[in-house]
Amino acid sequence: MNRNKLLVITTFIGVLILTSCVKAAKDLVDDIELRTQCIERLSDYTTNSGDKTCSQITTEINNILKDCGEFLSQEEKDDLNFAKDNCTDN
C-alpha cells in the first residue's frame, strides 16, 4: 500500500514538473514570436513609411510604441517619437 502511495505521489510531482516546464517553454516561444512580430513591424515602418501620410505614420508609430514598447530601447522609442513629432505631409 505504501509503495502505491509513493508511486502516485511521485507521478503527481513528475506531472507538475513537466507541466511547469511545458508552460515555461510555451511562454518563451510566445515571447520570441511577439518580439519577431515587433521587429517585422519596425522594419516595415522603416522601409515603407515614405509612401504614407503623416496621419498614417503617426498611427503606425503609436501602435508600434503601444504593442512593442517593452522590446524597444529608449533610443528607438525616442527616434520614433521624434519622427512622429516632426512628421509633415509633402
pLDDT per residue over 49-81, tens digit each?
778 888 999 999 999 999 999 989 999 999 999
Q: How many helices (H) and strands (E) does the chain have?
A: 3, 0
Q: Over pLDDT 70: what percentage of the chain?
A: 98
More confident residue, 51 or 41: 41
Q: Quick one: cell of 25?
A: 517553454
CA 50 distance to own-chain centroid: 25
What is the distance between the terminal CA atoms of the chain, rounded to a whole angstrom?
83
CA angle 63, 68, 87 (to 5 degrees): 45
